[in-house]
Amino acid sequence: MQLPLFPLPNVVLFPGVYLPLHIFEPRYRAMVVDALDGDRLIGMVLLRPGFEEDYEGRPPVFDVGCAGVITHHERLQDGRFNIVLQGTERFRIRGEDHSRPYRVGNVDSLAESVSTQPLEVRSIRQRLESLVTVLVEKHRGELSIPPSMSDVDVIHALAQYLELAPLEKQAILEMDSLLSRASALADLLEMHSLAHGGMGGMH
């Protein structure tokens, strides 16, 4: 299928998670207008390092991204937009269509490997919650994760909102099961905690 691509240097979207965006470049304003007239889907992709030299063109991006549906939008008087995306599913780019001012990918949906180990996922979720609680308390913050939130939503929300490097988030996004994503995220948090005596918490 075809999907408009919105490449950014520091944003990785995960399925189920909400992402507010301010759209100001003319090519991406056109993308939002077209998306609102169609299926409201936009594909978020991460720019590869070194993109600065060709930002106005089509610098290389990582092949795996996450589609998002526009759940809210506000068109400002000067043509800019404030939008909110909700992540839907991961995809892999096979090629690009260069017929429009913004980038359009020919993409394949990436199926989730259904976890046959829900108890392991739940155990890692609990490990993540305790790690994050300690990190947040070090910075005198508070974090409450509702028990009613599903394991998949908790893991993806932490992966998106914690202050991890974009390349670390990208590596987690590319993993093909929730269990591997959760485990990698917990390992990263432990590593950051040991290396830096804590992280910056959540945005």
Q: What are the average pLDDT values for consecutive 10-residue runs of the chain, which has 203 residues?
A: 96 97 96 98 94 74 98 96 98 95 97 76 91 75 79 94 93 94 93 63 45
Topology given in CATH for the domain delimited by 2-109: 2.30.130
* Phi, then psi, of 71 in degrees rounded to 5: -95, -25
> How many other CB atoms sit within 10 Å of the CB of residue 152?
18
Write down the domain spans for the chain. 2-109, 118-196
Q: ∠ CA 48-52-58 to the nearest 5 degrees?
A: 65
Cα–Cα distance for residue pair 71/52, rounded to 1 Å: 30
Phi/psi-derived region of residue 140, left when phi > 0, alpha when psi is between -120 and 50, beta in every other case: left
Cα–Cα distance for residue pair 13/5, rounded to 1 Å: 12
**Closest C-alpha among 75, 73, 91 to residue 5:** 91
Q: What pLDDT, on the 0 to 100 scale, is given for residue 149?
A: 92
Tell me the three state secondary structure of residue 133: helix
Cα–Cα distance for residue pair 86/14, rounded to 1 Å: 9
Q: What pLDDT, on the 0 to 100 scale, is given for residue 198?
A: 46
Is 53 within 8 Å of 59 (Cβ atoms)? yes
Cα–Cα distance for residue pair 124/31, rounded to 1 Å: 38
Count how many Cα atoms sit within 13 Å of the Cα of residue 23 in the half-sphere of its side chain. 30
Q: What pLDDT, on the 0 to 100 scale, is given for residue 191?
A: 86
Is 69 within 8 Å of 61 (Cβ atoms)? no
Cα–Cα distance for residue pair 32/29, rounded to 1 Å: 5
Cα–Cα distance for residue pair 67/85, rounded to 1 Å: 9
- The distance from CA 186 to its chain's CA centroid, rounded to whole angstroms, is 17
Please give the structure tokens belonging to residue 20.
Answer: 């507010």
**Closest C-alpha among 1, 69, 70, 10 to residue 45:** 10
Please give the structure tokens belonging to residue 188.
Answer: 């990263």
Question: Which CATH number applies to 118-196: 1.10.287, 1.20.58, 3.30.1380, 1.10.3470?
Answer: 1.20.58
